[in-house]
């Protein structure tokens, strides 16, 4: 395997591949010579300054892509053309049409195209998903999610509604992860200035199942890390998930008590970025076993379709019906 883009997240990809018993980190690629050299010092892997040089120099089975958001499409196209399985950071593409085209290209090539919705692998969401599946809170009726994060730097904030495509792409995916397909989206924003990026939004979601979802999201100047809380409310109780990995609180209807589930603090697996490493390990296992990756390009398209619907709703002032996938 190779890693394309050796920044903060690419180094985690390299760490995941190097620590998998089923993969070998053969090469690293970055257009920044210093970053490439620093990563290559850590891992005994070949170095390439561009994706073109990487694919002409190496015969690879799979790549992990962690270039900036707007560079994903170029790297994914090159990887698919070389017949590689792809694990790409979110969002898969800047727009829905490009994402759909990549999913078609991967299917034509017969390779896996995975997108890193790593929150699904965090202790809190993973545990809540298992409890929901086991029927612990009965039929899911509503999902409430609150998230705030730092205002993104200008290199990331390339369009006014970046909050939907870069931050909330994770949370649209989480809504689908728990509640299934979504049929309607209504979004409002609290920001008045047309010059600034959208900072505060509330998105109301209607699920095909008739359950309801609400996402309240905001960017905060100088916030040091993402702060996130989700509650799943069902016919027989509720589950609250704190900060992806921290804690799950189960409240049942029939008793005035709550059960707290926390990760084992002495074991690996409780830090946010371990969820990314766990996801990449799962991708490698699925590819090695010829199984479809746990999070697919279709999931990426579905999440981007919800982001596009939210932007359309914001701009039109109407609820938007989402076409079925
Ligand atoms: N899954 C998550 O929770 C999560 C968290 C943070 C960031 N991300 C995503 O990960 C990606 C990378 O983010 P980051 O914070 O590591 O960014 P970064 O800026 O630290 O790293 C990006 C790297 O890509 C390199 N690069 C740029 N263009 C390139 C090209 N054409 N070919 C090769 N290398 C190129 C840059 O030199 C840089 O080293 C982004 O898409 C971001 O949205 C995901």
| pLDDT tens column, 192-230 | 666 689 999 999 999 999 999 999 999 998 899 899 999
Burial class (CB in 10 A: 0-12, 13-18, 19+), 251: middle
Residues 6+ apart with CB under 8 A from 298: 103, 325
Q: How remote is the CA of residue 312 from the centroid of ligand 1, in Å?
A: 27
Q: What is the biggest distance separating any 2 CA atoms in the chain, rounded to whole angstroms? A: 64
Q: How remote is the CA of residue 49 from the centroid of ligand 1, in Å?
A: 15
- Mean of pLDDT values over 118-129: 96
Q: Which two tokens stand for residue 278?
A: 């766990």
In angstroms, the CA 25 to CA 127 distance is: 31
Among 9, 162, 271, name the best residue to mutate to test ligand 1's pocket (greatest count of ligand atoms within 8 A of Cβ): 9
Where does 78-181 show beta strands of DSSP type E? 85-88, 113-115, 140-150
Burial class (CB in 10 A: 0-12, 13-18, 19+), 231: middle
Strand 182-189 to 320-321 pairing = antiparallel
In angstroms, the CA 116 to CA 86 distance is: 10
Closest atom of ligand 1 relative to the 155 alpha carbon: 19
- Identify the pLDDT of residue 195: 65
- Mean of pLDDT values over 303-309: 96
| pLDDT tens column, 264-273 | 877 655 578 8
Flag whether pLDDT at 191 surpasses 80. no
- Identify the pLDDT of residue 194: 62
| pLDDT tens column, 45-100 | 999 999 999 999 999 999 999 999 999 999 999 999 999 999 999 999 988 999 99
| pLDDT tens column, 131-179 | 999 999 999 999 999 999 999 988 888 889 999 999 999 999 999 999 9
- Identify the pLDDT of residue 154: 86
Among 5, 49, 52, 117, name the best residue to mutate to test ligand 1's pocket (greatest count of ligand atoms within 8 A of Cβ): 5
Q: How remote is the CA of residue 90 from the centroid of ligand 1, in Å?
A: 10
Flag whether pLDDT at 115 surpasses 60. yes
Q: 197 preceded by cis ω (within 30°)? A: no
| pLDDT tens column, 235-292 | 999 999 999 999 999 999 877 789 999 988 776 555 788 999 999 999 999 999 999 9
Residue nearest to atom 21 of ligand 1 (CA): 7
Q: Are 186 and 320 contacting, i.e. CB atoms less than 8 angstroms apart?
A: yes
Q: How remote is the CA of residue 71 from the centroid of ligand 1, in Å?
A: 9
Residues 6+ apart with CB under 8 A from 197: 151, 152, 157, 160, 161, 162, 163, 219
- Mean of pLDDT values over 12-27: 97
In angstroms, the CA 93 to CA 133 distance is: 31
Residue nearest to atom 5 of ligand 1 (CA): 9
- Identify the pLDDT of residue 268: 57
Burial 92-123 (b: 16+ CB within 10 A, else e): bbbebebbbebbebbeebebbbbbbbbbbbbb
Q: How remote is the CA of residue 175 from the centroid of ligand 1, in Å?
A: 25
Q: Give the three-class secondary structure for 233.
A: strand
- Identify the pLDDT of residue 158: 83
* CA of residue 138 relative to chain centroid, distance: 27
Residue nearest to atom 36 of ligand 1 (CA): 5
Residue nearest to atom 3 of ligand 1 (CA): 118
Of the candidates 188, 179, 186, the residue with the CA atom closest to the CA atom of residue 205: 186
Provide the percentage of residues in the chain whose pLDDT is more than 90.
86
Q: Give the three-class secondary structure for 251.
A: strand
Among 12, 67, 152, name the best residue to mutate to test ligand 1's pocket (greatest count of ligand atoms within 8 A of Cβ): 67
Ligand 1 — pocket residues by CB below 6 A? 4-10, 29-32, 35, 51, 66-69, 71, 89-90, 116, 118, 166, 276
- Identify the pLDDT of residue 223: 92
- Identify the pLDDT of residue 267: 67
Give the count of beta carbons closer than 10 Å to the beta carbon of residue 133.
Answer: 9
């Amino acid at each position: 395997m190779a890693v394309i883009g050796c920044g903060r997240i690419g180094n985690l990809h390299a760490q995941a591949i190097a620590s998998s018993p089923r993969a070998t980190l053969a090469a690293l690629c970055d257009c920044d010579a210093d970053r490439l050299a620093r990563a290559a010092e850590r891992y005994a892997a070949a170095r390439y300054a561009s994706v073109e040089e990487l694919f002409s120099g190496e015969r690879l089975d799979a790549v992990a892509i962690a270039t900036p958001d707007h560079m994903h499409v170029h790297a994914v196209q090159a990887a698919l053309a070389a017949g590689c399985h792809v694990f790409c950071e979110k969002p898969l593409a800047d727009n829905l049409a490009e994402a759909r085209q990549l999913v078609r290209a991967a299917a034509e090539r017969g390779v896996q195209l995975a997108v890193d919705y790593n929150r699904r692998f965090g202790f809190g969401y993973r545990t809540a998903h298992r409890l929901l599946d086991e029927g612990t809170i009965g039929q899911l009726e509503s999902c409430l999610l609150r998230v705030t994060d730092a205002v993104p730097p200008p290199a990331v904030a390339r369009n006014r509604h970046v909050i939907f495509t870069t931050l909330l792409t994770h949370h649209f995916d989480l809504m689908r992860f728990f509640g299934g397909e979504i049929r309607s989206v209504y979004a409002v924003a609290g920001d008045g200035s047309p010059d600034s990026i959208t900072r505060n939004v509330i998105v109301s979601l209607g699920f095909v199942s008739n359950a309801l979802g609400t996402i309240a999201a905001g960017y905060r100047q100088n916030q040091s890390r993402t702060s996130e809380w989700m509650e799943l409310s069902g016919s027989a109780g509720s589950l609250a998930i704190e900060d992806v990995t921290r804690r799950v609180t189960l409240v049942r209807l029939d008793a005035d008590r709550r059960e707290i589930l926390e990760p084992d603090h002495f074991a690996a697996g409780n830090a946010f970025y371990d969820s990314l490493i766990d996801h990449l390990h799962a991708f490698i296992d699925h590819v090695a076993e010829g199984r479809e990756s746990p999070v697919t390009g279709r999931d990426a398209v579905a999440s981007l379709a919800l982001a596009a619907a939210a932007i359309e709703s914001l701009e039109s002032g109407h609820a938007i019906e989402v076409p079925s996938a």
